[in-house]
Amino acid sequence: MSYYFTILSPTDVPLFNIAFGTSKSGGDGIARFRFPDTAQYMNQFIIHSSLDVVEEAQWMNGNMYLKHIDTYPPASAYISAFLTPSGARFLLLHQPPQLPSNSAGAGGSMSGSLLLGSGGSSSRASASSVAANPTSPQTEEAVRQFMTEVYENYVKTVMSPFYRQGMEIKSSVFRGRVTAAGRKWL
Amino acid sequence: MTQPARHAAMLSISNSGPNTMAGEKQQSTQHMHTQSQPSQGLRVPSNRKTIYDRHLNRSRSAELSRASFAFLFAEMVTYAQRRVTGIQDLERRLNEQGYPLGLRLLDLLYYRTMSSSTSSSLSSSSTSASPPNRPLRILPLLHLIHGPLWRLLFNRPADALEHSVSPETPNEYMITDNDPLVNTYISVPKEMSMLNCAAFVAGIIEGVCDGCGFEAKVTAHNQPTEMWPGRTIFLLRFGESVMEREKVLERAGVK
């Protein structure tokens, strides 16, 4: 499973983003997106396109964790959202590893990505159902735990007198904490 | 170069704790010793504890000296009073000082309610279940301000919560505080009798409303009674978009 996590301000300004891979079931924590050439900007496109859904769900459901809210089938990307009370959005894009069986249909032009995507890690991860199934209750719970931990660190950032709302979060300690949360839960 | 791990743990934001002064002093002396190392312009407290290592509930039941608060607040009013054109301008500046505080308190309030589901001191009225819900309608938001927020700030709930009776202004709500803490040591001169320094608290409320997605203008007004000469009314005027959404959500049955 590969992840792309981003924090958006209430006015849709990206405050923080990070890409990482799973550390569960033998993963090494390095993101392996299906289309590595385009992943850098496509992930951002996919995540931002889910904002409309977030804004709709935001007023129907008072929970802070909105669960899995959007899917982008061409990249089999799943998006989970978490809303802070002050309006910041935490969005997590997760992409299950590519299984060898459906790799043929994914597009022949991406042969480079197939080599990366169907490497050793994917076969190991697909053995475990939690990692391979992004909509299972176990995955939802893991994402919730991850979001809650990031929220704690986000509150600490916000409480700093040198931070104003809408500022980019540059702290290397914060980045380290998010990475650690990812390693722990995802 | 000798201690790369040390720099890896550095922080861009300096520490904000009771021992900040002491920490910074030690830090500056330490900097003299370590000047040969490559500096990234980041400082970390000498005990290696960044704000991320501190627990947010640590100062939860801690109390501040009222004297120091009164002094600080008086200085804030004096600061805001410089270069203002009138009372309204002064209140606007106090409001702006409170606004960022409201945004922050909102996140802190939810974090503390979330992490302490067992103790229900903060999670009464609107937020009974854990994890607490974000307010979607006006009323839960007002209860959040009236109860948990007031308790976080002043250790007691506000004194009254009212809705405007006039049919022309259904978007107006009032929160009453009989004796606002911020005004306790403020004596307003006669020629400025309209001034209410609780405009600062109005700014905090405005920040909370805005943070929750309820665009609002909040102002503080004097409404003395015989028993409570310092009684203050916070008038919340919600924007058009909020009222429209309120109607839609009411139809949809969202509470």
Give me the domains of chain B, ranges plus CATH numbers. Answer: 4-53 (no CATH), 66-252 (3.30.1380.20)
CA of B99, closest CA in chain A: separation in Å? 11
pLDDT of residue B116: 64
Residue A25: is its pLDDT beyond 50? Answer: yes
Distance of CA B174 to the CA centre of its chain: 18
Residue type, A160: S
Decide if A101 touches B, using CB distance below 8 A. no
**Which CATH class name applies to A2-185?**
alpha beta
Q: How many residues does chain A have?
A: 186
Which pLDDT does position B221 carry in this prediction? 92
Between A152, A153, A171, which is nearest B11 by CB? Answer: A171
B12, B106, B115: residue with CB nearest A86: B106
- The tokens for B144 are 């959040």
Residue among A65, A165, A171 whose CB faces B13 most closely: A171
Predicted pLDDT at B210: 92
Q: Average pLDDT for residues A26-55, to the nearest whole number? A: 84
The pair of structure tokens assigned to A108 is 């022949």
- Measured in angstroms, the CA of A175 and the nearest CA of chain B are apart by 11
pLDDT in the model for residue B155: 87
Distance CA A142, CA A184 (A): 9
Our measurement of the distance from residue B104's CA atom to the centroid of its chain's CA atoms, rounded to an integer in Å, reads 6
Q: Does A160 touch chain B (CB under 8 A)?
A: yes
Interface probe, candidates A86, A89, A145, chain B, greatest B C-beta count within 10 A: A86
- Residue B117: predicted pLDDT: 52
Is some CB atom of chain B closer than 8 A to the CB atom of A64? Answer: yes
**Are the Cβ atoms of B131 and A154 closer than 8 angstroms?**
no
pLDDT tens-digit map of A79-124: 999 999 888 999 999 888 776 554 444 433 443 344 444 444 444 4
Cβ-Cβ contacts under 8 Å, A153 against chain B: 52
Looking at residue B130, its pLDDT comes to 52
Residue A9 pLDDT: 92
CB contact under 8 A, B13 and A64: no
Which residues in chain B have their CB less than 8 angstroms from residue A164's CB?
100
According to the model, what pLDDT value does residue A114 have?
40
The neighbouring-strand residues paired with A21 are A2
Q: Give the distance from CA B235 to its chain's centroid.
A: 17
Distance of alpha carbon B6 from its chain centroid, rounded?
35
The 3 state secondary structure assigned to B82-145 is CCCCCHHHHHHHHHHHHHHHHHHHHHHHHHHHHHCCCCCCCCCCCCCCCCCCCCCCHHHHHHHH
pLDDT recorded at residue B232: 93
Radius of gyration from C-alpha coordinates of chain A: 16
Q: Is A167 on the interface with B (CB under 8 A)?
A: no
CB contact under 8 A, B51 and A62: no
What's the average model confidence in pLDDT over A56-73? 86
Q: Which pLDDT score, from 0 to 100, does residue B45 have? A: 73
Residue A141 falls in which region: left (phi positive, over 0), alpha (psi -120 to 50) or beta: alpha
Q: What is the pLDDT of residue A99?
A: 63
More confident residue, A61 or A48: A48
Residue-level pLDDT at B128: 39
- Interface check A120 vs B, CB under 8 A: no
> What is the rounded distance in angstroms from the CA atom of residue A151 to the CA atom of residue A90?
9
Task: Output the tens digit of pLDDT for each of chain B's 255 residues.
Answer: 444 444 444 443 344 444 444 444 444 444 444 333 444 556 777 777 788 888 887 777 778 888 999 999 999 999 988 888 888 999 999 999 999 999 999 999 988 887 765 444 443 433 334 567 888 999 999 999 998 999 988 888 999 999 988 888 889 999 999 998 888 888 888 888 888 899 999 999 999 999 999 999 999 999 889 899 889 999 999 999 999 999 999 888 877
Average pLDDT over every residue of A57-77? 86
- Do A5 and A111 touch, CB atoms closer than 8 A? no
Residues of A in contact with B135 (CB under 8 A): 62
For residue B220, the model assigns a pLDDT of 93
**Amino acid B19: pLDDT:** 43
Task: Give this prediction's pTM.
Answer: 0.77
**DSSP H or E segment with residue A66:** strand A65-72
Query: What residues contact residue A74 under an 8 Å CB cut-off, 6+ apart?
Result: none
Pairing of strands A2-8, A14-21: antiparallel
- Domain segments of chain A: what residues? 2-185
Contact A84 B110 (CB under 8 A): yes
Å between B184 CA and nearest CA of chain A: 26
Closest-approach residue (CA) in chain A for B212: A86
The token pair that represents B134 in the structure block: 């974000």
Please give the C-alpha separations between residue B43 and each of A186, B46, B55, B164, in angstroms, as whole numbers. Answer: 32, 9, 20, 51
Interface predicted TM-score (ipTM) over 0.85:
no
- Report whether pLDDT(A13) > 50: yes
A82 to chain B, any CB pair closer than 8 A? The answer is no
What is the 8-class DSSP label of residue B241? H
User: C-alpha dihedral over B120, B124, B128, B130, to 10 degrees?
Assistant: -40
- Is A159 in the B-facing interface, judged by CB distances under 8 Å? yes
Q: How far apart are CA A3 and CA A23, in angstroms?
A: 11
**Nearest residue on chain A to B245, judged by CA atoms?**
A59
